[in-house]
Amino acid sequence: MRLGELLVADGRLTDEQIDQGLRAQVLWGGRLGSNLVELGLLDLDELSWALARLHGMPVALARHFARTDAALQQRLGPGLADKWQCVPLARLAEDPPRIGLAAIEPLPSEALEEIAAQLGEAPEALVVAVAAEMRILYHLELSYGLGRPARYMRARDAAPPEPPEPVSGESSEVEIELPPVAESSSAPVVTEPSVLPLAGPESGGGQDEISGPEHRRYLPMVGDDERRVGRIAIRRVKVYAEDQAPATGTWPDALRAIRRAQDRDRVGELAVSTLTSFCLGLRVAAVLVVRGQVLIGWRGRHREGPLDLRSIAVPLDHPSAVSEAVSTGRQVTHALEEAGADLDHRLAAAIGPTGRGQVLISPISLSEGRVSCIVYCQLDALADARDEAEAPEPGGAAPEPGRDAERIDSVVASMRSAFLRLIRAASR
């Protein structure tokens, strides 16, 4: 059983609401549960309960994170916490006391052995409880300084892209509830959960993201100020082996691969790989996703390899070339050295090298009048004048000079076809 099926079987959500979450997942990424929370259809504790039932695991709620043991957390290094996407909570009120550990999903035995060794415990001394993805990512940042991707952060004073964000009521009780394992292959049946209370005083040293605005770190924007812009880093991103090589085969093969990609991430990776492989004068190709009044970095690649753009966020309520492309739904182009708005200069510097060249911004609309993402390309100023033999096309044929803009248009059209197909598939 999948999460959406469980939520519908329980009467928590309708098929139509699950479809809405799946469509949002295609556009914005993340897990289905995170998108349902962002759409206002669930709160984080309700999602955590559903995940616990789905996996037959204990559940970690907001009240557990408010009682975390900071000293225990620091015994686990940020490397392992990031690798396994988990956060130690506290010791349980048992004899002997075990350790509660919150994670996004069940952990394999390899993870338990590595974590236990670093904590100085036996693997059987760990009790893994499941928590919502958004909550785990928040506490990885809070406890270990592991920054969340911009996709999971809210812009200050910005309205959410869909219905308003729900407000969760928090309980002062501190237990870890154990939903029973499903009795059959059908939907799990929850009766009275068993309880494992956390040890320690009622008021712990931890905090949760909904404990007040003083604990919230908002999305740093390109153009906020010099300090925030300086924090935007372009880094090489760890990618799967299948994504490390540039696009191969002929130009039609590359476009066909984009259109037939089986998931959102593969569409983005194939698109930027195809652009940097087949466009003669392309320096950088990037895809940024529209979320409300913010443009969020997603996929990027330059001539030498992939770029990690997940920390980039661009406000769309300020004058800029990207905001023009999003608001009008039309392609926008400008010279790098002649970018009109200060925001354009900052974005260009954050995504790629500065100097003479051209920027081409192509919007992708999946419904009439609504841009869902943009393809942002930086090209050499004299790309069209290069000799066609300078960069042979993968598959043997040399590319024709002066066709970069045309090829970018073709990739954009292929991406749109792929997204529409994935959205239709998600709605079945």
Per-residue pLDDT tens for 361-407?
999 998 777 899 999 999 986 444 443 434 445 544 444 545 899 99
Q: For residue 289, what are the CA distances in angstroms to 65, 70, 280, 376, 408?
A: 31, 36, 25, 11, 17
Q: Are residues 147 and 261 in the same domain?
A: no
- Name the DSSP letter for residue 65: H
Q: Are residues 194 and 247 in the same domain?
A: no
pLDDT over 80 (residue 76): yes
Confidence of residue 354 (pLDDT cuts 50, 70, 90): low
Q: Average pLDDT, stretch 241-255?
A: 68
Last residue of a domain, one of 215, 241, 274: 215
Instruction: Using a pLDDT cut of 90, give the percent of the chain over it.
Output: 43
Distance CA 150, CA 132 (A): 17
Flag whether 220 is in a domain: no
pTM summary value = 0.69
What is residue 99's three-state secondary structure?
strand
Flag whether 126 is in a domain: yes
Residue type, 392: P
pLDDT over 50 (residue 175): no
Place of tokens 């549960």: 33
Flag whether 221 is in a domain: no
pLDDT over 90 (residue 125): yes
Distance CA 16, CA 48 (A): 21
Q: Average pLDDT, stretch 177-187?
A: 38
Q: Are residues 147 and 251 in the same domain?
A: no
Tell me, what's the pLDDT at 27? 84
Q: Are residues 253 and 164 in the same domain?
A: no
The partner residues of 358 in beta bridges, in order of sequence, read 335, 379
Distance CA 335, CA 259 (A): 30
Last residue of a domain, one of 169, 191, 215: 215
CA angle 37, 176, 207 (to 5 degrees): 60
Question: Do 48 and 61 touch, CB atoms closer than 8 A?
Answer: yes
Q: Are residues 165 and 252 in the same domain?
A: no
Q: Report the domain count for the chain.
A: 2
Last residue of a domain, one of 215, 238, 258: 215
pLDDT over 60 (residue 165): no
Q: What is the CATH number of the domain that holds 258?
A: 3.30.450.40
| Element spanning 419, H or E | helix 404-426
Q: Which domain holds residue 90?
A: 3-215
Q: Are residues 142 and 259 in the same domain?
A: no
CA angle 48, 54, 59 (to 5 degrees): 35
Q: Which residues of 244-276 are buried (b: 16+ CB within 10 A; e: fewer)?
A: eebbeeebeebbebbbebeebebbbbbbbbbbb
What is residue 36's three-state secondary structure?
helix
